[in-house]
Structure 1
Amino acid sequence: MAEAFKFELVSPERLLLSAQVSEVVIPGTEGYMTVLAHHAPLMATVKPGVVSVTTADGKPDNYVVFGGFVDITPDGCTLLAESAVHVTDIKADELQRRIQDAREDFEDATTREAKARAEDLLGQLMTLQEAIKTA
């Protein structure tokens, strides 16, 4: 069995999870990353997606995050999410609203950079919507 480490998932509203885990898969902006015990120090940005957690006793769990930052040290991992909920608590209408907002931001963008950011967010949200259907 893999060695456990402390993982905390924090949103502005509350601490969603503080537990000993054996593995966490995080949707980083540069790609998904798997965190195990004694991981090299790393700070990275997180894109909207599903965070998969395997607790120290081997039970899987999933959370939806809407961006944020992750701080990884050899002793633990802390994910500071812009917004996060347990995957079973995600409301389809809320996600659809965020997708519609991103579409409107894309249509209203006046610069190439703003259009690219809005398109990127829209793509991430659409991917998240598909991931939740299969989670």
Structure 2
Amino acid sequence: MTTTIRCDIVSAEAEIFHGEATLIVATGEMGELGIAPRHAPLITRLKPGKVVITQANGEKLDFAISGGLLEVQPQVVTILADTAVRADEIDEAAVKKAKEEAERVLAGRGEAMEIAEAQQKLAEVTAQLQALERLRKNLKH
């Protein structure tokens, strides 16, 4: 029998995922984290990036988050994301358009607030594009 840990991914808008996992991989402030059952308790900030959940049946689910917090407790891993989306629900055309807009603002070196917002948006859409690319690679295999 495979040991699992419950994983919840929630954002301000909705609960994104609730289920059992054998491994959770997320991008923390200091690099990638791998959380398996019986992991030591932990709280850390998450950078914009991907979250990959390996389920008990071996299936991997990919999510793109815009940042947030990860909390590991003995029975549950909770990811509180600013925004989160499943890779298979990403609108590639909208994401590419948002990326181009963010890059345009950064290239023009607008207001300081605009630049900070554009940098955040660029990190978010880059994470979404990476999650989409990983999903495509998994579908090819």
2:88 corresponds to: 88
Give me the CA root mean square deviation: 2.7
Distance 1:133 1:25 in 2: 17
CA 1:63/1:3 → structure 2, altered by over 3 Å: closer, same or farther?
same
Pairwise CA distance, 1:128 = 4.5
1:42 corresponds to: 42
2:25 corresponds to: 25
Give the alignment's TM-score, normalised by structure 2: 0.76
1:108 corresponds to: 110
Distance 2:105 2:25 in 1: 29
- Letter paired with 1:134: R
Asked if residue 59 in structure 1 is aligned to residue 59 in structure 2, the reply is yes
Pairwise CA distance, 1:103 = 2.9
CA contact (8 A) 1:70 1:78 kept: yes
Matched residue SS, 1:58: coil
Pairwise CA distance, 1:88 = 0.6
CA contact (8 A) 1:47 1:124 kept: no
Pairwise CA distance, 1:75 = 2.1
Matched residue SS, 1:133: helix
CA 1:73/1:110 → structure 2, altered by over 3 Å: closer, same or farther?
same
CA contact (8 A) 1:48 1:128 kept: no
Give the alignment's TM-score, normalised by structure 1: 0.78
Stretches (4+) displaced over 4 A: 114-121
CA 1:28/1:109 → structure 2, altered by over 3 Å: closer, same or farther?
farther
Pairwise CA distance, 1:73 = 1.9
Give structure 2 stretches of 5+ with no counterpart: 136-141
> What is the aligned residue count?
133
Pairwise CA distance, 1:52 = 0.7
Give structure 1 stretches of 5+ with no counterpart: none
- Letter paired with 1:53: I
Distance 1:87 1:31 in 2: 21
CA contact (8 A) 1:50 1:132 kept: no
Q: What is the aligned-residue identity percentage?
A: 24
Pairwise CA distance, 1:77 = 0.5
- Letter paired with 2:103: R
Matched residue SS, 1:108: coil
1:70 corresponds to: 70
